[in-house]
Structure formats: C-alpha cells, structure tokens
Amino acid sequence: MSKNKWKEFGTIAVKKMAQAQPGDRLLILTDTRTDSDIAEACRAAGIDAGIDTKFLTIPYMTPTDTRELAPSAAQVILDANVILGICETMFDEKAAARQARKNGTRIAITSPAGMEDFLIEGICGVDYGHMLKVAERACELWANSDTCQVTSPVGTNISFGMKSRPVLVGDGMATQPGELDFFPGVSIANAPVEETIQGTVVVDGNIPPGRLVEAPVTCELEKGIITDISGGKDAHDLEAYFEESGDPIAKHLCHFTLGLNPRAQTTGNVHQDEHVLGAVTFGFGSQDPDFKGNVPSCKVHCDVVLRSPTILLDGTVFCQNNRLNADLGLGGL
C-alpha cells in the first residue's frame, strides 16, 4: 500500500479513532513488528495536527508473555493522556496501560498485520454512522433479553444469561477518559453471567495466536469455564496455549462479542475476523472492568471466533447466516 494511502489512514487514526487534538499528550506506540510506513504516517499526522506527539517502539511480546514492560517504556505510557497503539503486542494488558487508564488515558488500538486493506475500508468504505445506529439498537435488544443461545452447523450449542450486564459498543473511537477501544469497529459485547454459561463452542474461525483453524475445535464449558478441548492439531495447540499461560483463569469465558462491519472479511487476522458481520467472538481470561463481570484477575487474554453462528435472544432469531434480523430494526448493513 502506498505511503499516500497510509497518510490518509494516519490522519483518520489520530483525529477520529484516538480523538487526539492540540493540548493532548499523544503517544504513538508501536512494536518491532509494526510496518514503519504506518507508524511514520501516524507520527506525522499527530505533529501536523499541532499535537504534542511522542513515539515509542517496544519489543514484540506474545499474548501469553506475562512479563511487564521495561520501566522506561512504562513511564512513557503513564506520561501520555492519549495512546494510539499500532502494534501486535497486547500492551493494554500490561500494568502500565491499566494504570494509565485509571488515570484517565484514552487508548485506541489496531493490529495492522494481515488486514492492511481493512484498516482503510473498514473506516472509509462503509456508512460508519449507520453501523453505530444498528449497534445501538442491538444493544437495546441484548440489554432487554434474559437468555442467549448460540448454535452453529458445526456443533456449537451454548446458552447463557445476559440480563443485568452492560452491553458495550466497540465503535473503535477512544472518546472518554480511561476508555480503551480497538479499530476499525464496529462490534458489541457483554460479559455473560458466569454461572449460567453451559454448553459447547465449536471454533471454525480464528484461534490463538491469530490464525484460522484447519479443522473445527470443540470446547466444552461448565459454568463459564472450559473443561475439555477436543479435535485435531488445532485443539492440541489451543490447549498448549492455555497451558503456556500458567494461569487457570485463562480458561474462563469473559466476553461475548458480535461483529457488525460489512467490509470485514475472514482472513486469519483476529481483529478483522471478529468484526465480520455476524461473526461471534468468545473471549477468555482477562476481563475488562467495564464489563462488570466476575471473572477473577488474569494476566492473559485470548479470543476464538465462530464464522457464521445463529444467535437466539429469548428464542427469537437475532442473527443467522451473517445477517441481522431486519424485523428487529437491524437492517441496512
């Protein structure tokens, strides 16, 4: 992709996604896997907008690497009040980023590798305002539903309670003090009531460390905790991923997410895969406090993606075959 195209992206990322403006202390945070053209475009966009802009590159760290950032890097993070993360490392799970959010720092994150085209198309090539309206309507429906059931042709059949838990819109924009969001959006998510989560999740999309499965992976859950993982090599790798973390809480289901971006395609990039319209993501491990859930503290987090499940809310079809139920006021995407 041309540097001119990344210039447009950098401007959108700084001004719209991070909502940075003069008077902010903006940090462009990258890691050693970040494309230098993208990083430079974001840095230049911040400077061109008259924003106090700093630039920090950290070593790439795997999702199961529980080490904290170097003290010098942590201090740079704590000194910023807006962070634009353009990297693969899940720095948002580190102590410095968590403390920064408690201090009011806004954080917008994307992971460019494998979804370079979607970074542009997912923001500029779609009616973002309408996506947000559909997301708001979907939130109303989730908030007013007692139970949710997710099924799929490959064997998923899981149910859980969802009432009393907040439903969050992942609009991709970090607008409020302490807010963390991933872009491009849009998605909606909540934390299912832990003790009500029962059934089977069959992963036919993305699994850690961010790739498509070769064959479906079956996860059995009781009261929100994975009790068994079966399948072929992918199942073995997922079990090894959890074991590598060394934390039993890593197998606790912590969020249920629905993708709403019609420009997203299943590619093997976890961020794009989980934003595909109608795709479902189940997250495990570390739980964002905004979900108001009861999953114990955990230093790692992973997501698994189901490509095209059916979602029932109190028995009514909410989404099927990657299409939302227009009769519920969810049309137009």
Average pLDDT over residues 95-110: 97
pLDDT higher at 80 or 16: 80
- What CA–CA distance (Å, rounded) separates 77 from 52? 14
Q: What is the pLDDT of residue 94?
A: 95
Per-residue pLDDT at 4 exceeds 80: no
Tens digit of pLDDT for each residue in 165-182? Answer: 999 999 999 999 999 999
Q: What is the pLDDT of residue 326?
A: 97
pLDDT higher at 250 or 122: 250
Q: What is the pLDDT of residue 63?
A: 81
234 near 207, Cβ under 8 Å? yes
Average pLDDT over residues 17-31: 97
Write down the domain spans for the chain. 3-113, 126-171+181-328
Per-residue pLDDT at 164 exceeds 90: no
Average pLDDT over residues 257-261: 97
Supply the mean pLDDT for the chain.
94
Per-residue pLDDT at 208 exceeds 80: yes
Average pLDDT over residues 315-329: 97
Q: How confident is the model at residue 131 (pLDDT cuts 50, 70, 90)?
A: very high
Classify domain 3-113 by CATH number.
Answer: 3.40.1830.10
Average pLDDT over residues 81-107: 96
Q: How confident is the model at residue 3 (pLDDT cuts 50, 70, 90)?
A: low
Closest CA to 188 of 302, 12, 86, 324: 324
Q: What is the pLDDT of residue 113?
A: 84
Q: Render the burial of 268-301: b for 16+ CB within 10 Å, e for the rest.
A: ebbbbbbbbbbbbbbbbbbbbeebebebeebbbb
Tens digit of pLDDT for each residue in 296-321? Answer: 999 899 999 999 999 999 999 999 99
Per-residue pLDDT at 2 exceeds 80: no
Average pLDDT over residues 190-215: 96
Tens digit of pLDDT for each residue in 142-156? Answer: 999 999 999 999 999
Tens digit of pLDDT for each residue in 52-68? Answer: 999 999 999 988 888 99
264 near 275, Cβ under 8 Å? yes
Q: Strand order of the sheet with strand 187-190?
A: 168-170, 187-190, 253-259, 280-285, 301-306
Q: What is the pLDDT of residue 120?
A: 82
